[in-house]
Amino acid sequence: MKGFTKTVEDFNCAHCGAVVRGNGYTNHCPRCLWSRHVDENPGDRAATCGGMMRPISVAPDGVRFVITHRCEICGKTKRQRTADDDDIDTIIKLSRNEDFLYGK
């Protein structure tokens, strides 16, 4: 298994449209917490699926949280640490499993 590849990229979130400035560790939108299935190993951009990854849960991990994402196309799940610029209100909603997760 290949290790982490630092890839600095800016992107427009395919879920909410936010403009996201990447720092090489950015793996999800800080506004809505959605991600894309683009990596096999962190940063390699080798995944062919490309599906949207829905945030399905969040759990505490020291001073941060870990978000679990599930791909809407292939079902793969991945865990990602939150970042300092992630929207805390969205993290709280996710922790409560509120309707925004289901597109309502």
79 within 8 A of 61, measured Cβ to Cβ: no
Q: For 32-81, what is each residue's pLDDT tens digit?
A: 999 999 888 877 888 889 899 999 999 999 888 999 999 999 999 999 99
Q: For 63-75, what is each residue's pLDDT tens digit?
A: 889 999 999 999 9
Confidence (pTM): 0.83
Name every residue whose Cβ is closer than 8 Å to that of residue 32 and which is 6 or more positions away in sequence.
Answer: 13, 15, 16, 18, 55, 87, 90
β-bridge pairing 11-12 and 64-71: unpaired
Model confidence band, residue 7 (pLDDT cutoffs 50, 70, 90): confident
Assigned domain for 5 exists:
no
Note down the domain range covering 75: 11-102
Assigned domain for 42 exists:
yes
Assigned domain for 1 exists:
no
- State residue 51's pLDDT score: 94
Assigned domain for 27 exists:
yes
67 within 8 A of 94, measured Cβ to Cβ: yes
Residue for token digits 């994402």? Answer: 69
Using alpha carbons only, how large is the chain's radius of gyration in Å?
A: 13
Assigned domain for 2 exists:
no
Cα 80 to Cα 55: distance, rounded to the nearest angstrom:
10
35 within 8 A of 76, measured Cβ to Cβ: no
- State residue 99's pLDDT score: 53
| Number of domains forming the structure of the chain | 1
